[in-house]
Structure 1
Amino acid sequence: MHVHESSSDFTRRDYSRADRITLTGVGSVGYHGVLNTEKQTGQPFFVDITMFTDFAQAASTDDVAHTVNYAEVAEVIREIVTGDSLDLIETLAENIAQTVLERFPLDAVELTVHKPNAPIEVTFADVAVTIFRENHAR
């Protein structure tokens, strides 16, 4: 899937009013990082994802078939985090966003990848990257 200007009725500003499903703190051990020790020992990664989709039909029918099953999204996130080793969490975020947009009927996603045990020599609480991607196939 290639990311480019949206042909939908939404603009980035309009997403503030859109229906959304938020899944927070999906955690798995991954082997991502520039250092060899990160690739060998692994560390926890946590993903927060906001999925933009119109769920009016799901709400009116009370049927999960008309919405995005967030349990399935969590499984996809875990599959990617525990999958092939990458150097950058930016690449990990992009891979998750693109895969979720390809597999689920969403207008857009915003997601954050947290790497709280990054090998930094100073005290810190978290390192994270956040991206926003639209689904231009919809």
Structure 2
Amino acid sequence: MTDRITLCGLRAKGHHGVYDFERERGQDFVVDVVLEVDLAPAARSDDVAETIHYGELAERLVEVVRGEPVNLIETLAERLAAVCLADPRVLAATVTVHKPQAPIPHEFADVAVTITRRRA
């Protein structure tokens, strides 16, 4: 499958992290998703109902980021991938969770975890 839908830079505030201060104050998380999906039906019909509505997907992903706190961004990425795979048209989802304000005592550009999950 070579067809993909990509959503990059989706930003939402969450309260995830191992430390109490991360959960209390919260911080921004940035999410990128790449969905493998057959886009031929949508291309033929020119109908949004035949594809993944990325606006609706963004809403569901933000709900997860703003939702129940987890310790690890690995766990957050897994939950986000499950949201993507809830649509049976999605064959695989690659999810990257960026934690730009991670509690690291050194200057850094980014910390991120990327996972890929495929439909069984």
TM band (smaller chain) = over 0.9
The residue aligned with 1:126 is 110
Q: Within the alignment, does 1:21 sit opposite 2:10 as a pair? A: no
Equivalent position SS for 1:23 = strand
Whole-Å Cα distance in 1 between the matches of residues 17 and 5 of structure 2?
A: 29
Whole-Å Cα distance in 1 between the matches of residues 84 and 102 of structure 2?
A: 25
Runs of 4+ in 1 over 6 A off after TM superposition: none
Unaligned runs of 5+ in 2: none
Q: Within the alignment, does 1:91 sit opposite 2:75 as a pair? A: yes
1:79-114 superposed Cα distances (whole Å, 9 cap, x missing partner): 000000110000000011012201452000011000
8 Å CA contact 2:77, 2:96 repeated in 1: yes
Whole-Å Cα distance in 2 between the matches of residues 35 and 103 of structure 1?
A: 34
- How many corresponding residue pairs? 120
The residue aligned with 1:37 is 21
Q: Report the TM-score when normalising by structure 1.
A: 0.84
User: CA RMSD for the aligned pairs?
Assistant: 0.9
Whole-Å Cα distance in 2 between the matches of residues 72 and 84 of structure 1?
A: 20
**Percentage of pairs with the same residue:** 49
